[in-house]
Amino acid sequence: MNPATLTRTSAFEWRIEPTGNMRVPGVIYATEALIQAMDERVRDQVVNVACLPGIVSASYAMPDAHWGYGFPIGGVAAFDAEEGGVVSAGGVGFDISCGVRCLRTGLQRAELEPLKERLAETLYHRVPVGVGSHGPIHLDDKQMEAMLTGGAQWAVERGWGSRDDLRFIEAQGRITGARADAVSAKAKKRQRNEMGTLGSGNHYLEVQEVGELYDREAARAFGLAEHEVVVFIHCGSRGLGHQIGTEYLKSMATSARQHGIELPDRELACAPLRSDTGQAYLGAMRAASNCALANRQIITHFAREVFAELFPAADLELLYDVSHNTCKLEEHSLNGERKKLFVHRKGATRAFGPGHPDLPEEYRAVGQPVLIGGSMGTASHVLAGNADPRVPSFASACHGAGRAMSRRQAHRNWQGRQLLEELREQGIIVRSPSAKGVAEEAPHAYKDVDAVVDGAEEAGLARKVAKLKPLVCIKG
């Protein structure tokens, strides 16, 4: 993106003043280098979102923003139901409640190294991966309804994990207001055999070593020490969330027309929060969020079984689980007033600052863990949320490196098998059913995650705590 087309308001804040149908400004948080690397279409999408009814404050983009369906990936926008605000399926994304969880293992990298190959092999066979992957769990209609309303709490009650896990999950592992009746039979059918599966694309389970620490106090609070091993799990609501997104995009196009909402882009289909379609979507989206939370909880259980077999001393404790594709009703300050707002975060992570009452007490002094997944073979990061008044973007931060090129382009540039060999030379074992998928996820098909994280920190969105280096990656 050409920086000259934006108004620079600080070293890390770029604005688009309202013109035409924009109701609020656009704001992009990034360094100049990240702006230059950003797709031109991000600006158009930030502008389009700023035109939607009931949007408050500004249409925001995080440092890793790239072009997406309707909303940019890395987009944050909040809506006020009292001001005719809307909810948009494209503002959440197809992979509803896609997110990351991080587990400590209590192991040192040196203990893991001799068994690394076996660990990769065993994890690959225990955790189903790939397009259309099915697992050993099959839900009937009644169990499906319990899962969609119970989330990770349901999974723990079924024996997949412990009650202690729940304190370290966004919303204590269960999103309230879920409506199984707002989820179609087709969506439920698609999910029947997909619980505890990773899926494909950029989803993965990665075993990592804690590298550099940047904030020792926060690292201590999060239980992270150098050379210790952690597990990162990145996945979402599988076929169920995708089906819900597809169906509600259609009904929202109708709803927007009926309510006289002028859409700058048909991909921005939305429904008033105070409408039957808007309420049904919120209920279905929350059900999909519970599906994603239960899914990550079950995968955690599989990972614990594998580590217990190979490393009797291991104890996989949940550090945190947070979504980066969702719409949440949250209370935020707006012009000095506390307001309940519907915050869309699409490819953006919630990042509550120190003192937030929703955080577990262990983390309250330092802020929410913000889990940033890198691309395959590169680093991941743990950050801590800020409460910085310079960035009024509803306590949000970036979610990953962000793609630098399309899947098609990546597929042209790299060969899966060769990438796997190169990574192995670096001591990183990748197991995947798809050579094409590996090529599409090539490390250089993404932006430099370190630069994105530095940009997020410099802008004041979150503080760097620890860098994580990959050892074993199970890839969809």
Residues at the contact surface with DNA, assessed by CB under 7 A: 94-95, 98, 130-132, 186, 190, 194, 199-203, 235-236, 238-239, 242-243, 246, 434, 476
Please tell me whether residue 250 adopts helix, strand or coil conformation: helix
Nearer CB in complex with DNA: 145/441: 441
Q: With the C-alpha atoms ordered 19, 25, 31, 36, is the resulting torsion angle positive or negative?
A: negative
Nearer CB in complex with DNA: 199/460: 199
Distances in Å between the Cα of 199 and the Cα atoms of 135, 203, 435 are 11, 6, 15
Contacts 24+ apart (CB under 8 A), 108-111: 108/227, 108/228, 108/229, 109/209, 109/227, 109/228, 109/229, 109/471, 110/227, 111/229, 111/311, 111/313
242: annotated active-site residue: no
Which is nearest to 52 in space by CA: 31, 83, 27, 28?
83
Residues across the chain: 476
- Helix (H), strand (E) at residue 88: strand 86-88
Least Å distance, CB 192 to DNA, is 11
Nearer CB in complex with DNA: 390/417: 417
Least Å distance, CB 400 to DNA, is 9
Per the DSSP assignment, residues forming a β-bridge with 337 are 334
Least Å distance, CB 184 to DNA, is 10
Which is nearest to 307 in space by CA: 126, 75, 49?
126
Least Å distance, CB 170 to DNA, is 19
Q: Which of 134, 399, 411, 444 is flagged as catalytic?
A: 399
Distance CA(350)–CA(396), nearest Å, equals 5
Least Å distance, CB 476 to DNA, is 6
Contact, 154 vs 144, CB < 8 A?
no
Per the DSSP assignment, residues forming a β-bridge with 7 are 15
Amino acid identity of residue 392, one-letter, is: P
Least Å distance, CB 319 to DNA, is 22
Q: Which residues are catalytic?
A: 399
